[in-house]
Amino acid sequence: LFFVFQKISEILLILTVGWLIIQVIRGLFHYWQRKLDITNSNNLEARKKLTQISMLERIIIIVIAFIFVAIALMTIESIRELGISLLASAGVAGIIIGFAAQKSFGQVFSGIQIAFTQPIRIDDVVVIEGEWGRIEEINITYAVVKIWDQRRLIVPIEYFLNNPIQNWTRTESEILGTAMLYVSYDLPLEPLREELARLVKDHPDWDGRVQNIQVTESKEWYKELRVLVSSSESGKNWDLRVFIREKLIDFINTNYPGSFAKINSAPVSLNKNTSQ
């Protein structure tokens, strides 16, 4: 009985040391993460480092846990060979080959690749599967996308390497947004341009770079107007586009009633003069 308790004590001691090392590593990584400010609109470098630090932390913790579990197993005589084989497989080459050999471990390898190639980063604005959202977490095997309506989209990590996605903040957070209007040909554009300039001038979501109205298409019954505005980041641009669209619609209805596009469904009559 004493021998059993002794073995249990040895195993608990080994696991406790491993747990303490993991907590120290977590504390260090969290300290480094707190020094990175991603609340600033110009936060590209901070997001790069935060993504790499988060992934590196998870990898180191997994490796340490793997090693200490193997050491604990080696204290048990009957399964010492299993512990030795696990510890021997902890080499870098062995880990990479073993991870790539199975689908679940292949996801881990994809996570490491994402951390260093960085097609996505924490707090990136992306459109995936038709959903707009921000990268909230990047784990070793999956990423969490926070959708605009507070839902969370859980995406396998290899999806980002095998499928095209829209990343609106890949190189910078500044963005251009459009609002489309469909109006009749007799609506003048200069009053709309003047009204747009007035609306964005003091708006907090406009960054002062771009504001314009252009005719981008001409159809049989109407012309298509593209209202272009810029913002320092995508969330502000969404609010700005909604505001501009509402105000321009009100402006047109008030000053140029009946100027929005109408579909003429009446049959066209052809008057022919026939001589007998």
Report the CATH number at residue 191.
3.30.70.100
Residues 147 and 199 in one domain: no
pLDDT higher than 90, residue 160: no
Give residue 183's pLDDT: 93
Residues 127 and 202 in one domain: no
Residues 69 and 28 in one domain: yes
Residues 151 and 15 in one domain: yes
Q: Identify any residues that bridge with 147 across adjacent strands, giving them in sequence order.
A: 133
- Is residue 262 one of the residues assigned to a domain? no
- Is residue 273 one of the residues assigned to a domain? no
The answer to whether 227 touches 196, Cβ cutoff 8 Å, is yes
> Once rounded to an integer, what is the mean pLDDT over residues 41-64?
76
Residues 53 and 135 in one domain: yes
Give the domain range for residue 208: 175-255
| Listed residues 167, 202, 228: the one ending a domain | 167
Q: How many CA atoms lie within 13 A of 43 on its CB side?
A: 18
Residues 124 and 37 in one domain: yes
Instruction: Tell me what the pLDDT averaged over the chain comes to.
Output: 80
Q: Interhelix angle for 190-201 vs 234-255, to 10°? A: 140
pTM greater than 0.75? no
Tokens of 178: 């459009």
Count of structural domains within the chain:
2
How far is C-alpha 4 from the chain's CA centre?
A: 52
The residue with greater pLDDT, 228 or 122, is: 228
Backbone phi, then psi, for 230, in 5-degree steps?
Answer: -120, 155
Range scoring the smallest mean pLDDT among 90-104, 155-169, 181-195, 252-266: 90-104
Instruction: Determine the Cα–Cα distance for residues 211 and 77; give it in Å rounded to an integer.
Output: 75
